[in-house]
Structure 1
Amino acid sequence: MNDKKITKESLVQMPHEDLAALVFNLSTIIQTQNEEIANLKELYKLRTAERYSSSSEQVGYLFQELEILDAVLAGQPEVEETIEVAAHSRKKRKRANACTAPADTPVCDVFHTEGAEDTMTGKDGIVYKRVEDKTINKMAVIPRKMVVECHHYAQYKALDVEAGKDNKKINLPAKTDALGASPSLVASVVVSKFDDHLPLYRQTEIFRREGFFLSRQKLASWVITYYEEL
């Protein structure tokens, strides 16, 4: 279709076939423009949502797989286990989401029995006699402990008085021995970064909260040096 301006008179004088073709072409153009407008509106909404939406740390479930897993666990039927008894059989319910821990996990006893009497009287006036203690296993966290390792290396001083500034030698087996970070600290930083997905700047904030100032640049330098040496 040419770019000639269409007037009312030209439409009246236009043959029926040309008029039908013109209407079809204009309908196609309008439909294409409407689709482009809809796409632009969608892109604008996505851009606005990306700018002002909550961060991933404030979103309950970032991936749909987690929502499905939570729904399955919430609706998972309780598994019944049959226990054979001499006179009869009864069903024992097994907790579907019971917490577990490795067999070698240390167990610490915490007693709340100080001052407990041998007998007690309830509000209903019934007297109760103390029997074996009730134990409840609770998972606990002991904060990590930071220590300063004082490493001793053999140091030598030149007997020649003309040695100048280079009159001392320290026996350092590796380049990493001169760093201010032990292998355990660097290993912890690497595991936190690649397994726990904690950036170095966040690890720096964690160290600062615990009272240790370790800059992000220093952590990165230590990790790179250990990587190059190993």
Structure 2
Amino acid sequence: MLYAFPPHIPTVSVAGSNELFPVHRIYCVGRNYVEHAKEMGATGREAPFFFMKPADAVLPVPHDAIGEMPYPGMTTDLHHEIELVVAIGKGGKNIAAADALQHVWGYAVGLDMTRRDLQGEAKKLGRPWCTGKGFDNAAPIAPIHRVAETGNITQGAISLDVNGAKRQSSDIGKLIWNVAETIEHLSKYFELQPGDLIFSGTPEGVAAVQRGDLLEGRIDGLGELRVKIV
């Protein structure tokens, strides 16, 4: 078979290896920490909801490096959202929460970057969030750590500093819908595939960043993600 042009396969580095993790789809969980839900105008434990980013929105950042994210066009309100990223290695649909962690290949530190002004406008008009969430380089991500090495991440500190000042700080244990429950719900809507990434939600403290800002995200057991806005 001949392609009209060479296909592009988005990939993410695997920690401690020369391997690359091929990205199939990127799913994101909305408002999955109580305090973040409150700061976004919601309350309580609502049913999980999802949105997507294109696979090639990933911005892989190597270990011990500082990635560069160009400030996107069409916005004056670019926000950071630090998240635990779940990498799927075994596909399936209608997966029970009790079996869900068997489908996890690994975990990583990621950022769900958001053009908040465009997202807010879309919400008011009842339109999709694509322009606010799915733009180029909207998903910076550190190397993926194999679950065989880290174990399943059910708790641990998650934080983000901007220019050395703390912006977000919480614990993975405060997820409203934990990783297993998220996989259970998501797999009812989509048949998950190896290569899928799930951005599991962000804690409170989301705010705007500017050109020149240095973002440093951390999750216990997964190291650090450093990104400069250029």
TM-score range, shorter chain: under 0.3
- The normalised TM-score by structure 1 is 0.18
Whichever structure has more strand as a proportion of its residues is 2
Whichever structure has more helix as a proportion of its residues is 1
Task: Say which one has the larger Rg.
Answer: 1
